[in-house]
Chain A
Amino acid sequence: MKRSEILSRLLVIAGVLLVLSVPLAVHFYEGQGIVEIHGRMAESGGWSPNSIHAQVGVPLHLRLTSDDVMHGFAIGQSDMPAVDVAPGKMTEVTLTFNKPGTYTYYCTRWCGPNHWRMRGTIEVSGGSSDAPQPVSPPLYMTLNLNIDAPHPAIATPTERPSALRGAAFAAMLSSSYLTNDYYRAHSPSQAYLDLRADPALSSLSNPNVWDLVAYIWQSTTTPEGRAEGQRLFARNCSACHGESGGGDGVFSASVNAQTGKFPANFTDPASLLGASPALLQGKILRGGMGTGMPYWGPIFENETIWSIIGYIYTFQFDEVQK
């Protein structure tokens, strides 16, 4: 064989090998110690991988990319700010966990009808050998509430209750009504019946009593909490329940197509005024009910859930300061 032929063959082979092997080698080298997570709409598989292991105190390097549409990435019950995961781009995140446990990562962008199913878990082991902290059961379990049962309001107001008007009668109200324990364990319609039966309030008209209920619901929450609840509701709930709480969000039709039910309508007094904060807590924590409602237990801290619930009741009650 001629030298020129040998050289030409070597050049072709070298060119091919170079172009195929160099990128792979670089990628392999760069990928050492890094977990690459691909985000896809839940209908196409969600996060991949959807289960990661990490060690307490050892930085976990993640490279996030989307294979289809814009996603977001956040860790439930943590302070880590959500990051965008753009299609075809890499986002790098480094996490360090101080406590062992199971952490949930989830999508923070409304990427599709089953967006909420885009979740994965990080199993963090090692670290402290202390016994795990005892966890108290959520209120809805303590109260033994059946969160799947219908909860129609026993009574409904003839006009929209106002906390501002209710404040005028606040002096007549027993302080026992203004506790978190009372507020969280009672639905507004139960509270109305309790107040209606209270001899100290017998002089008040029915609308005045409803105004007092609104006052109680506002007094047991804070403006900051309700503002936080509004922000979280807009980000996590409004796609199904609608920005105005009417159960008419952009995904309501697809929820209906999947489950035969529409998302809860918080502007309907007959429904919301029959639900206690503890009942709503159960629904948010556990989800389900055959309605397509996601479970938010691994995502939201307890106080965060109370903030959202505080905001939800503003769909029924006028606040002093909106």
Chain B
Amino acid sequence: MRSELTRFSVVKSLLKNRWPQLFGFIVMLAGFLYAIMTGFIGTPVGNNNFSTVFVWIAWWAILILVAVPFFGRGWCAVCPIPLPGEWIQRGAILEPPSRKPRRLNLRWPNKLRNIWLQNLTFTLVALFSTVILTTPKVTAVVLAAMLFLAVGMSIVFERRTFCRYLCPVSGFIGLYAQTAPVELRVKDKQVCITCKGKPCYNGSAAGYGCPWDVFPGGLTKNTYCGLCMECLRTCPNDNIAINLRPFAADLGQPSRKLDEAFKAFIMLGAAMVYAGVLLGPWGELKSAAYSVGTVAWFGYVMAFLAFIFGLLPALFWLAVKLGQVLSKSNVPARHVFAAFATALVPLGLMFWVAFSLSFVLTNASYIFIAFSDPFGWGWNLFGTAALTWQPYLTTALVPLQTLVLVGGLLWSVRTAQKVGREVKIQPVPVIVFSMLVTLVMLGLLL
């Protein structure tokens, strides 16, 4: 059941036209650079600095509560990080120039054409997250590093290699974009097969070849489509459609990739660890996570890594193995493991939503303060600088989080059943795993 949005000429024109997207880019780039600047020269007090408040409260809330669940990679469509690098790489901001600039345009190594590096970068950021989240300068360093890395990679490699293979945010947005009710797909695959020159992938005078290194004709899920709309501009056959669809439509086709499976574990585990460290009552745990470089921090790192890369996958593997034994299946365990990890996608997303609700509603009042006085220099741009901190919707928070977690569990159960039917393996042990981790998350949050 799909509804094509691009059948409306207004929508199609808006998406094909480069100017609305450019304005989005400019606003986002300005905000991004402003966040870097406030981080470097504003007050070092995290809850009064635009950098930390804007990125980790306002942007994060919009991303995880709205953008990802409803628009998938919608954020990637306006993310400013690739803009400067692409300008250098393409030699233009809007349409392709008549003369292509001479760049190395190297292909990304085949062995790295997966999301293992993104798993690594996300884990790295996660290990330092307590410091990054609370220290404006460190936030600014991370943002600036992402920008410089993206520019550097655009100069050396073709397309958006940073976004596709390195960006720590892009990895999980791609994973959870599978659940979004929006997709970009071709209308008729046969048209793509017979299309000469494949301008959607190779580019043409009308637009650039897919920056995400995806051939739209082969798209079956949202994971790697950045919704940049280049294929909509370049397709000579009007064969690209933006569709509204049911939530989680991609999860019907379970993944067979271990890198994606581990992305699901990293995200699930990180949400649980954050709930414990950032929202829990354990002062020593917080101190250990914050004291980067100390023995206690190394202990925290080891525990974090062991939980995400050891305990969770091991328990899940046992559940999958038990399902195999119950079903007397000969399908390779690695395939079944990766396939069933798809059930963790909706569960992980709902873990993040539940965690973020608590985090964001508790700290949202800082947004008004920091927007009025972004540097902590005593400004009062919107008359809200003198507001005091206060948490919002405290009475609704617990029921809301419970609802989200239970909803996530049901969604995960439904997905596990679908995967079970697909791979012909009993899903009950995986469902029990999902129930257990949901119970732990409930205990951590409530």
Contact = CB atoms under 8 A, between A and B. Distances in A.
Contact of B48 (A5, A19, A89): A89
B49 A88 contact: yes
A23 B40 CA distance: 13
B29 interface: yes
B94 A20 contact: no
A302 to B, nearest CB: 37
B92 interface: yes
A90 B386 CA distance: 11
Nearest to B374: A23
A20 B37 contact: yes
A252 interface: no
B44 A23 contact: no
B58 interface: no
Contact of B22 (A8, A65, A88): A8
A12 B376 contact: no
A66 B378 contact: no
A65 B48 CA distance: 12
Nearest to A9: B93
Interface in A262-276: none
B411 interface: no
Interface residues of B, number: 30
B43 interface: yes
A152 B71 CA distance: 78
Interface in A141-186: none
B34 A19 contact: yes
Contacts of A19: 30-31, 33-34, 37
A16 B376 contact: no
B97 interface: yes
A157 B216 CA distance: 96
B282 interface: no
A89 B377 CA distance: 7
A38 to B, nearest CB: 9
Interface residues on A, range: 20 to 34
A89 B29 contact: no
B95 interface: yes
A92 B378 CA distance: 9
A84 B33 CA distance: 32
Interface in B334-354: none
A41 B163 CA distance: 41
A266 to B, nearest CB: 33
Contacts of B18: 8
B95 A88 contact: no
A90 B48 CA distance: 11
Contacts of B373: 88-89
B45 interface: yes
A27 interface: yes
Interface string B250-288: 000000000000000000000000000000000000000
Interface string A1-34: 1101100110110011011100100010010000
Given A5-B92, A5-B94, A5-B95, A88 B45 contact: yes
A300 B333 CA distance: 77
